[in-house]
Chain A
């Protein structure tokens, strides 16, 4: 478990993270979203002891991260801008990881490289951007670290490779109880892979929840009634958003779907459709509830 308490970090006079608190469960995939410059990468760098924090504490499995060499054996970080030593092949890079990580699995790396069709003896500098990301990812996975931090790592990968990597990560999580923390400024990238999501805004975690409850707790309906109706007609429901165009209204409701359906059926609607919400929509409406205009956030 990762426990972050009152974390503050500033670059000169600019405060990037301010009294940030966050709990990340073990064996989950935690997605951290936020606008560009929200501090996602900074947070990951501080957790990985790359940057020094100004104040606050970070504990992983009850141990302080800072200057903890043993603990860092269980952490691996793949940054947004990748780095490979000049003229190194994938095998050379793997050997570097092997030298640094006690539980690095070289055989598994070769296996993954074969699956992803990556030549281990070709220079990484000759690879495409996507292939470089794959190299970094498989090196990180083969460290067998308990906590893996991916900073916008999946952004820009083609769907086939994304799916393949998701399967590899899922297998790894199953095998080692791994916890994955990944960031993106694109919700769609995280939607189908994360268990939990946290929104970083103005230096703090503004909102965090597990995806299942987010999606099941909120739904969109399209409804049309015979007579005239407005938002006040449905006072029994927790309405997050109400839009009416002509005789058809689109309503975002928070709460239990079955209960809402029974209430709405009492009005004998001409049309009553329950539509799924995208994660992006869920976040927009949750933010509105919290009093933030979405366009200011993401």
Chain B
């Protein structure tokens, strides 16, 4: 058969023409709302902001669960009406051609939606330079959402081939998309046989580790991220590969089933009652699982079971438009018994299966990272890629974990590492383990000797394109100098220094990049080197001067000032207070008098911190130590006078 016979442009054009209003609406919905969301995010921000991927794509994500269904219904909806089936299928066009043409048409429409959305995001990134949207992120979104939309569209088309109504198509699509991942997730969640435990005989401590979960297709993955929040990385190569493979299978299967479809099966749920009952039972299974997981009062359980029964009848009413009570009552009782029995059976089997205990023979490789990294927003992708195959070290770490003391009150425990093992069976096990200082040092010492690991850790910290200093942008030359300074410093640090690199008490330099499909954020103290401090101070001082100029003569704007010394310690204005109320004008004068002056990080200095209404916190670095000392003295004196006055009045 010629390829031209498989695709009929005239049919596609006419098929789209008949629903042009709906198609046009859904074509512009995602791009328009994405543009609006982006503009709302940009609106009223007085500082530079790096776009959060989920913040930008949530409209697209919602669309993922609606638009492919609408497209499938628009293009294939004729199969649900007897009159339209007669009309369309009597036309000189084969079923295969109809399926392929409509599928390609739908994919083209999805491509248009995603391309326009990507274009709008790119235009926004051009129009609003203070709202940083990485181009690589836009490309990722384009690929990820396009493949995901196409996947849902193909699943919806597959469901259409055996459904008699649009509602049954939706139910079936949902089952194909969510049922198997839900079952697997439930199994992982409750399966004791999948859980490794570290047994410590002395303290009866059982340490459960997380087994790396299977990466599902995007519709379930995104749903899982949104609902459970268990993964922040939106893009997944494995998910995309899986969707491409499954999508191809579903397409071929859909084409075959469409060719074989009994077109007389319209306005009925499915061609056979048994399929209807199976589908209905499958939709009830998640409810049974949830019912079993809820440890509620008996009354609540009865209410929930009643809801399941109502759902059972409602399902028939919606998808079949009729309820046969005697059959349905027998059906619901049988379904509940069978499903509950199945669930309890699997629970029993799980309990019988022996628990696994991790032994050194099971471990293939390991990786570690410093626990506090998580609190500093550093993404640890390198952990997923760099594993050290060192049998001796694996054994050492395993022994360390078995011997660890798990007592929060124990003062000898100082440091926590995330230990990650790759087992010979392919499992990845993560575990946070606390170590005594000696053991911690010994482990870091051992790991530092591995060049691959050290390179990976440093690379993880060095890859950055965008630099923000307390949410303020810098010019290219300054960014380059800061990145270069930080990189040079990191290269000279050993592992322990890197791990224990603390945030600044004043403010941080944030380094951003969208790399390996993830928004990488890293924070470093602005005084990591003298150069970084000097550049940062210049940028911060300039911003503070600009803000002060704007609010100097505007008494309606609330402002408060604080002082910090070079070590980052807050200066007390009076006993236990840091708020400088009597020297506000002096501080503003000091800032304005310093316009054009150069800050020298080598000289003693103070930082004036201002909280000004409608503005982010402002920082001003000054070497006018004498002037500041005078202000501190004046503030303390005024506070003392005030305190004495109040005390006298009280007496």
> Residues on A close to B: CB < 8 A?
11-12, 45, 48-52, 67, 69-70, 72-73, 75-77, 79, 81-83, 85-86, 88, 95-96, 99-101
Contacts and interface: CB of A to CB of B under 8 A. Distances in A.
A48 B89 contact: yes
Interface string B395-429: 00000000000000000000000000000000000
Given A76-B90, A101-B92, A51 B263 contact: yes
Interface in B326-366: none
Interface string B171-206: 000000000000000000000000000000000000
Interface in B242-264: 259-260, 262-264
A75 B84 CA distance: 17
Grouping DSSP codes into helix (H, G, I), strand (E, B) and loop, the B interface class, with mixed when no group exceeds half, is helix
A51 B92 contact: no
Given A49-B89, A50-B263, A81 B82 contact: yes
Contacts of B18: 85-86, 88, 96
A100 B93 contact: yes
B576 interface: no
Contacts of A99: 10-11, 13-14
A69 B5 contact: yes
A75 B5 contact: no
A88 B19 CA distance: 11
Contacts of B94: 67, 69
10 contacts: A12-B272, A45-B86, A49-B89, A50-B85, A73-B92, A77-B90, A79-B83, A83-B83, A83-B84, A88-B18
A51 B10 contact: no
Contact of A83 (B5, B87, B96): B87
B86 A100 contact: no
A70 B2 CA distance: 13
B91 interface: yes
Closest 7 pairs (CB-CB, A-B): A72-B92, A83-B83, A77-B90, A99-B10, A83-B87, A79-B86, A50-B89
A143 B238 CA distance: 51
A119 B588 CA distance: 81
B86 A83 contact: yes
Contacts of A88: 18
Nearest to B264: A51
Nearest to B13: A99
A69 B263 CA distance: 18
Given A51-B262, A69-B97, A101-B92, A77 B14 contact: no
Contact of A11 (B81, B90, B264): B264
Nearest to A79: B86
A241 B369 CA distance: 104
B95 interface: yes
A75 B95 contact: no
Nearest to A98: B10
Contact of B90 (A12, A70, A79): A79
Interface of B: 5, 10-11, 13-14, 18, 81-87, 89-97, 259-260, 262-264, 272
B262 A75 contact: no
B78 to A, nearest CB: 8
Contacts of A100: 10-11, 14, 91-93
Nearest to A102: B92
Q: From B85, B90, B262, name the one whose CB has the most chain A CB atoms within 10 angstroms.
A: B90
Q: Which of A48, A49, A51, A99 is most buried by chain B, counting CB atoms within 10 A of its CB? A: A99
A68 to B, nearest CB: 8
Q: Considering residues B13, B18, B259, which has the most beta carbons from chain A within 10 angstroms of its beta carbon?
A: B18
A106 to B, nearest CB: 14
B16 to A, nearest CB: 12
A96 B86 contact: no
Nearest to B85: A50
Contacts of B82: 81
B347 to A, nearest CB: 39
A96 B87 CA distance: 11
Contacts of B10: 99-100
A83 B94 CA distance: 19
Contacts of A45: 86, 263
A240 B14 CA distance: 57
B9 to A, nearest CB: 9
Contacts of B97: 69
Given A45-B86, A51-B264, A77-B86, A69 B14 contact: no
Contacts of B81: 83
Given A49-B89, A95-B14, 5 more contacts: A67-B95, A83-B83, A85-B18, A100-B10, A100-B92
B274 to A, nearest CB: 12
A88 B85 CA distance: 17
Nearest to B272: A12
A73 B8 CA distance: 14
A85 B81 CA distance: 12
A96 B14 contact: yes
Nearest to A88: B18
B5 to A, nearest CB: 7
For B11, B83, B92, B96, the residue with the greatest tally of chain A CB atoms inside 10 Å of its CB is B92
Given A72-B91, A99-B11, A99-B14, A81 B264 contact: no
Contact of B86 (A12, A50, A85): A50
Central interface residue in B10, B81, B86, B259, by most chain A CB within 10 Å: B86
A244 to B, nearest CB: 50
Nearest to A50: B89
Nearest to B260: A52
Contacts of B91: 72, 100
Nearest to B265: A11
Nearest to B10: A99
Contacts of B5: 69
Nearest to B95: A67
B592 to A, nearest CB: 69
A50 to B, nearest CB: 4
A158 to B, nearest CB: 23
Nearest to B259: A67
B263 A75 contact: no
A86 B272 CA distance: 31
Nearest to B96: A67
Given A52-B262, A81-B83, A99-B13, A69 B92 contact: yes
A15 to B, nearest CB: 14
Nearest to B90: A77
Contacts of A48: 89-90
Contacts of A85: 18
A82 B90 CA distance: 12
- Give the one of A11, A48, A73, A83 with max B CB within 10 A: A83
Nearest to B9: A99
A60 to B, nearest CB: 13
A83 B10 CA distance: 19
Nearest to B83: A83
B11 to A, nearest CB: 7
B260 to A, nearest CB: 7
